[in-house]
Amino acid sequence: SLYRSDAGAEPRVRTARRTSISRSKTRHCELASSMSNKPNLPNGFDLRQGTLMCEDIAMPELANRFSTPLYVYSQSAIVTAFNEWRAAFEGARHLVCYAVKANSNIAVLKLLASLGSGFDIVSGGELGRVLAAGGDPQKVVFSGVGKSMAEIDFALKTGIRCFNVESASELALIEKIAGQLGKVAPISIRINPDVDAKTHPYISTGLKANKFGVSADAAIDLYRVTQDSSSLRPVGIDCHIGSQLTEIEPFIESVSHLRNLVLTLGSQGIDLTHIDIGGDLGIRYDDESIPSPKHLISAVRDQLGDLSMELLIEPGRSIVGNAGALLTEVMVIKAGETKHFAVVDAAMNDLLRPALYSAWQNIVEVEKREGNPTIFDIVGPVCETGDFLGKDRSLTLVEGDLLAIMGSGAYSFAMSSNYNTRPRPAEILVSGGIAHVIREREQVEDLWASERL
């Protein structure tokens, strides 16, 4: 029906690439002959008798019960990914601060809080979500280049673990508000180490040319301010160099900058208790080879040597990304003069990553069908040519078939919109044989409910 649409689809096959976000749009022109049909499914998803399952529930059953498009998350995949981070620290004092922005549904936050997770937030709204989910404010770090007065006030009253401060102006504002409230604000300064994370330019954050963090020299000045102020307390140091990282070396380079700075500060009487290496390793969207959390953390610990500080990390994507799929139905098969299109009921408003970054996500046939595959562009109903979910995918499809866009647990619902007045899909958290509705599908009337004639 009209109000069930959204989302796109497409499975398997691609040639090797280093990250799932393409560096150039030309990769979408890769030849279909390079495509294979191996689904390469992540934790929480598998094929049983030719049908895609999320844990113990068949995806077609979810489509029947909840309609499409539909975000489907595997609880066990989230738990496994989180526990892998915990285990990677092997006894070292640490706090895993899940990056709320990746998927901020309060059921996901509650699940992670129950496992002992901390949270990396970037807005007062995200802090509100963490609190609504029962998260511990003492495990919250507040990142971001532009914190408002209201957000700082809220965070100070809530009593968070620390502010990751990104400029002198921000530090002055926090000092002023903390002074007015009679509080002492815990401060970590975000360093911009000028390290190339070798990821997509839009999500690279640790280069001088990026808006994030401050240089080591500027940081020393800011720490002096914290030392001299009765409303500020220096507690940590942090950095973040980018997202979807597939190599360890850029982390190690930035950690070595942090280590040097911690030693310099220590020699000036500024002793910090934690070091936040930012986040995160990338995930495997296709055939990327990604180092394990254990590999990363042991390399970080080697680099830090005898510095015995609590270690913080802010992973988002690696905890939820591959735990989710966007389930969508093929509405129209259309043979153009040069291309075949499968128009699905999901669209760029449900999954923006392909349109925004030319990101590639695996698109899987939910029920395998006999017959020769055709090369399709999987597109949504939105009125833009940029509304594609996958290009040049080799699939055997008829109208009414279901597709699952894998890797949709992170930055999918979180970046969704109501563009084209499309109500957003429901979110389902599957645990074994139980499907929990963790967000109801929007009704179209909801979309103009706060508008006025």
The rounded distance, in Å, linking the Cα atoms of 413 and 409 is: 8
- Give the tokens for residue 359: 């990101």
Q: Which residue type is seen at 400?
A: G
Closest approach of ligand LLP to the CB of residue 363, in Å:
17
Interface stretch with ligand LLP, choices 30-38, 43-51, 151-159, 407-415 (CB under 6 A): 407-415
278 lies in the binding site for ligand LLP (CB under 6 A) = yes
- Please confirm, yes or no, whether 239 is among the known catalytic residues: no
102 binds ligand LLP per the rule CB under 6 A: yes
Q: Are strands 185-191 and 51-54 parallel, antiparallel or unpaired?
A: unpaired
Q: Is residue 353 close enough to count as binding ligand LLP by CB under 6 A?
A: yes
* Residue 69, amino acid: P
The most distant pair of C-alpha atoms in the chain lies apart, rounded to whole Å, by 73
Per CB under 6 A, which of residues 80..99 are in contact with ligand LLP?
A: 99
Q: Which stretch binds ligand LLP (CB under 6 A): 56-64, 221-229, 247-255, 272-280?
A: 272-280
Query: Which residue has tokens 């936050």?
Result: 109
- Taking CB under 6 A as the rule, does residue 315 contact ligand LLP? yes
- The answer to whether residue 192 forms part of the interface with ligand LLP (CB under 6 A) is no
Q: Is 117 in the site for ligand LLP (CB under 6 A)?
A: no
Structural element, H or E, at residue 361:
none
Contact status: 162 vs ligand LLP (CB under 6 A): no
* Contact status: 143 vs ligand LLP (CB under 6 A): yes
Q: Does 193 bind ligand LLP (CB under 6 A)?
A: no
* 433 contacts: CB under 8 Å, gap ≥ 6: 55, 56, 57
* Contact criterion met (CB below 8 Å) for 405 and 362: yes
Residue whose C-beta lies closest to ligand LLP: 280
Q: What angle do CA 63, 69, 73 make, to 5 degrees?
A: 75
Q: Which residue in the set 120, 387, 392, 401 belongs to the binding site for ligand LLP (CB under 6 A)?
A: 120
240 touches ligand LLP (CB under 6 A): yes
The catalytic position among 29, 54, 239, 383 is 383
User: Are 349 and 434 in contact, with CB atoms under 8 Å apart?
Assistant: no
Binding of ligand LLP at residue 411 (CB under 6 A)?
yes
Q: How far does CA 319 lie from the centroid of its chain?
A: 8
Applying CB under 6 A, which part among 45-53, 147-155, 274-282, 331-339 lies near ligand LLP?
274-282
Q: Which stretch binds ligand LLP (CB under 6 A): 10-18, 28-36, 150-158, 238-246?
A: 238-246
Contacts with ligand LLP: how many residues (CB under 6 A)? 21
Report the distance separating Cα 155 and Cα 147, nearest Å.
Answer: 10
Q: Does the footprint of ligand LLP cover residue 314 (CB under 6 A)?
A: yes
Q: Which is nearer to ligand LLP, 355 or 397 (CB)?
A: 355
State yes or no: residue 422 binds ligand LLP (CB under 6 A). Answer: no
Question: Which one among 4, 257, 317, 424 touches ligand LLP, defined by CB under 6 A?
Answer: 317
- Dihedrals phi, psi of 215, to nearest 5 degrees: -70, 165
**Cα 361 from Cα 147, distance rounded (Å):** 33
Distance CA 343, CA 346 (A): 9
98 forms beta bridges with 119
From the list 47, 115, 203, 248, which residue makes contact with ligand LLP (rule: CB under 6 A)? 203
Residue 207 binds to ligand LLP (criterion: CB under 6 A): no
Residue 331: exposed, middle, or buried by beta-carbon count in 10 A (0-12, 13-18, 19+)? middle
In whole angstroms, the minimum distance from the beta carbon of 142 to ligand LLP comes to 10
E strand or H helix at 223: helix 216-228
Residues noted as catalytic: 383
Binding site for ligand LLP (CB under 6 A): 99, 102, 120, 143, 203, 205, 240, 243-244, 278-280, 314-318, 353, 410-411, 415
